[in-house]
Homo-oligomer: A and B are copies of this chain.
Amino acid sequence: MIQRLCIIGVGLIGGSLARALRQAGACEEIVGAGRDPAHLQQAVDLGVIDRYETDIAAAVKDADMVFVSVPVGAMAAVFSALKDSLSDSAVLTDGGSAKGSVIAAAEQAFGQVPAQFVPGHPIAGIERSGVAASIPDLYRDRRVILTPLPRTDGGAIARVRAMWEATGATVTEMDPVHHDEVLAATSHLPHVLAFALVESLARLHDKREIFEYAAGGFRDFTRIASSDPDMWRDICLANADAILAMIERFSTDLQVLADAVRDHDSDKLQEIFTAAKQARDGFANTHLAESE
């Protein structure tokens, strides 16, 4: 049971965590923190948080669990603002989509990464954002990856794990570097491709007509291009190396496909498309049966 949870950044991710823990009866009091009082008041009005502070140091005082869910580019400033007020017995965790940069931000703010900090990442993004979109079931049957360091306190890890399990999520642990590579492949690259495609098409002179004739496949394929630009700018900056490596790999593979189109290489096209369909069908069958 968490006595006082402080959520810094009460948007979709933080708000949904609050709603889930409340519904599970896993939390006594929830204090929100952020820069915008109107936004925080909305979270109070929606029943997502009990009260709020716009001063981060005041917000974390006496909290036994602090969850930071701000864009990864803002983590360093938040850690600096809270470090002198964080109780020694409190657990600090976050929801950033790139772990290497968040760990570096913690090291920068605290001098060394504190043992009470458990880097984490709930994999439940949807393209909506904001506290009004938060729901208690966002994490149900989703995955949360924790990326503790060797020096991270085992008790702190257990408490963060218990918090996420109370939301209905499945919690696993992973090395932070490996996390960033896996997410670059499964999440960051697809988002980059979707943004790049839509932006590219939007500059075509007949874009009105282009979008008019787009069908369901296009709609699904480009849905993630409606994601929050600020958040994704930060992720691209925070996980730049792994994302660049994936873009380069993809670009090379796309050129192989383009060469096959140019050469009218029927066998090669068939081979690529068949391998892709098999992998996608296998993915759908093993992991997504319930939601396809």
A residues with a Cβ closer than 8 A to B are 123-127, 142-143, 145, 182-183, 185-187, 189-202, 204, 206-207, 209-230, 232-233, 236-237, 240, 243-244, 247-251, 253-255, 257-258, 260-262, 264, 266, 269-270, 272-284, 286-288, 291-292
A247 and B253 within 8 A (CB) = no
Q: How far in angstroms is the closest Cβ of chain B from A14? A: 18
B215 and A123 within 8 A (CB) = yes
- Chain B CB within 10 Å — which of A200, A222, A254 has the most? A200
B187 and A277 within 8 A (CB) = no
> Would A279 and B207 be within 8 Å (CB), given that A200-B249, A214-B287, A221-B190 are in contact?
yes
Q: Which 3 A-B pairs have the closest CB atoms?
A: A229-B273, A202-B279, A199-B276
- A191 and B272 CA atoms in complex are apart in Å by 12
List 7 extra interface pairs beyond A195-B257, A199-B279, A229-B274, CB under 8 A.
A185-B204, A187-B214, A189-B197, A190-B218, A195-B276, A202-B278, A227-B273
- A277 and B283 CA atoms in complex are apart in Å by 27
Q: How far in angstroms is the closest Cβ of chain B from A231? A: 9
- Residues of B close to A199: CB separation below 8 A: 253, 272-273, 275-276, 279
Can you name 26 A-B residue pairings with CB atoms under 8 Å?
A143-B213, A143-B215, A182-B206, A182-B210, A185-B201, A186-B214, A186-B218, A187-B217, A190-B197, A193-B221, A195-B257, A195-B273, A195-B276, A197-B250, A197-B276, A219-B284, A219-B288, A221-B221, A225-B276, A226-B284, A227-B277, A229-B273, A229-B277, A233-B270, A236-B261, A237-B264
- A210 and B143 CA atoms in complex are apart in Å by 13
Q: How far in angstroms is the closest Cβ of chain B from A148? A: 17
B277 and A222 within 8 A (CB) = no
- Residues of B close to A193: CB separation below 8 A: 193, 197, 221, 254
> Would A213 and B247 be within 8 Å (CB), given that A190-B197, A253-B200 are in contact?
no
Per a CB cutoff under 8 Å, which of B192, B217, B249, B261 touches A243? B261
Per a CB cutoff under 8 Å, which of B185, B206, B262, B291 touches A240? B262
- A197 and B249 CA atoms in complex are apart in Å by 10
- Residues of B close to A282: CB separation below 8 A: 211
Closest to A283 in B: B211
Per a CB cutoff under 8 Å, which of B186, B214, B215, B270 touches A215? B186
